[in-house]
Amino acid sequence: MKKKYTILIIGAGPAGMAAAAALIQKQPCLQDEILVLEKASHPRPKLCGGGLTPWADEMLIKLDLNVEVPSFRLENVAFYFREKPIKFATNNFLRIIRRDEFDAALVQKNRTKGVKIQENVNVTAIHYQKDEMALKTSAGDFHAKIVIGADGVKSLVRHHLMREKVSRISRLLEMLIPVDAERLPMEFEKKMAVLDFTPIRQGLQGYIWDFPSIIDGAPYLNCGIYDSRVNPGSKRADLPALLRDHLRRRGLEIHHKIEGCPERWYHPAQKISCPRVLLTGDAAGIEPWLGEGISTALSFGPIVADAVIEALKSGDHSFSDYGRRVKKSNLGRYLNLKRQIAQLIYRPGFYRLLPAFGHSLAFFMQRQKKYPMTAYVEKTRAHPIE
């Protein structure tokens, strides 16, 4: 088995798959020069709400990674900034996929294009060796000129090569609740996602979500809680208690397994590259307002590919410009804007202004050119948590 490559990508999640797809799209001759190493075997479990935005769908088309997987398309979204929600009708808000199916389909699609992906290979260490990178893995040593760290929130690449003193970790809990097909919650009938920001009053720097989801043909409610911790220092909210309280008020059973997984938020000042190494996706960081990271992971792909192709052409493998390149891109501007929104609305005391923020959001979303939404307030009691 060949153990020396020009480019090694660590991680076959959406970020790794987008980087590989963008590289061979822009430079087909690189196909035999790239290897992806993945510690799991697809379909692998991945804790996630599975909400795919229109932007993610756009990126999938651009990258020629538009895969066919079962999805539940939503037509409405209810934002709770106080007891009465602001609702939006749109045919283009989110579609809910299952990550095990989605990620496995991305891997499969890349394989049909000739991308080499080795599963069940755990990278355990990475270091510089002369003019290349040396990787220790569960399948022996590998060497590469360039390494792309697409290895998720707990990135070994970041940990080994780009240690940072600042913690930018968000906390998330998720619960999958099977629901009675005869008495489906309104999220299914109305094709609606619920995002409840009212626990900000209890110190949450995020929201609680309810997404309708279909697993193996059966309906489930995907309920979760997101705490961005974008304003560190303030007291941490009690996430399990807030989630349980939310479920109790909805009359849902609360004895299902709660699982947790962190996220990491992006800051333009943070280090996301070093000589011969680039970070992408969760390893680099995502936006901390909604904690939505699939579109980010996909959007990093072309930026990473441009940086790598230029480095190979010029022979300058320092990637000293990568941080600035990301920051100046549409993706960087989007991540930055959402970080600023998060730091504003998740500031202690801001909850008094949340309803006003909700109205501003409605104003903005209705005037969006690309994905316009119609805001409305239902006269009936539309949601059980009201």
Ligand X SMILES: Cc1cc2nc3c(=O)[nH]c(=O)nc-3n(C[C@H](O)[C@H](O)[C@H](O)COP(=O)(O)OP(=O)(O)OC[C@H]3O[C@@H](n4cnc5c(N)ncnc54)[C@H](O)[C@@H]3O)c2cc1C
Residues lying near ligand X in the complex (CB under 6 A) are found at 10-16, 37-40, 44, 46-51, 122-123, 150-152, 156, 172, 174, 224, 261, 263, 281-282, 286, 291-295, 297
Minimum gap (Å) between residue 314 Cβ and ligand X: 27
Q: How far is the CB of 206 from ligand X (least distance, A)?
A: 11
- Stated as kind and residue range, the H or E segment containing 88 is strand 86-89
CA distances in angstroms from 249 to 71, 243, 254, 255, listed in the order given: 28, 10, 11, 14
Q: Least Å distance between CB 296 and ligand X?
A: 6
C-beta of 37 vs 311, nearer to ligand X: 37
Q: Which is nearer to ligand X, 19 or 179 (CB)?
A: 19
Q: How far is the CB of 4 from ligand X (least distance, A)?
A: 18
Min separation Cβ 211 and ligand X, Å: 7
Residue 48 or 192: the one with the smaller Cβ distance to ligand X is 48
Residue length of the chain: 386
Distance of CA 139 to the CA centre of its chain: 28
Measured from the CB atom, is 21 or 351 closer to ligand X? 21
Nearer residue to ligand X within complex by CB, 86 or 106: 106
Residue 77: name the closest of 359, 376, 357 by CA: 376
With respect to ligand X, which residue has the nearer C-beta, 37 or 204?
37
Two tokens, residue 90: 């749109």
The nearest distance, CB 6 to ligand X, in angstroms, is: 19
Please tell me what DSSP assigns to residue 344. H
Q: Which is nearer to ligand X, 293 or 323 (CB)?
A: 293
How distant, in Å, are the alpha carbons of 83, 89, 127, 190, 255 from that of 373? Answer: 21, 6, 49, 16, 36
Nearest-5° Cα angle at 210, 338 to 227: 45
Using alpha carbons, list the distances in angstroms from residue 135 to 10, 145, 171, 274.
10, 11, 30, 16
* DSSP letter (8 states) at residue 347: S
How far apart are alpha carbons 335 and 339 in whole angstroms?
6
Considering the complex, state which of residue 46 and residue 250 has its C-beta at the smaller distance from ligand X. 46
- Decide if 365 contacts 375 (C-beta within 8 A): yes
Pairing of strands 76-80, 86-89: antiparallel
Q: Cβ of 32: how many Cβ atoms within 10 Å?
A: 12
State the minimum distance, in angstroms, from the CB of residue 149 to ligand X: 9
DSSP at 286? B
> Cβ neighbours of residue 351 under 8 Å, at least 6 residues apart?
200, 201
CB of 150 to ligand X, least distance (A): 5
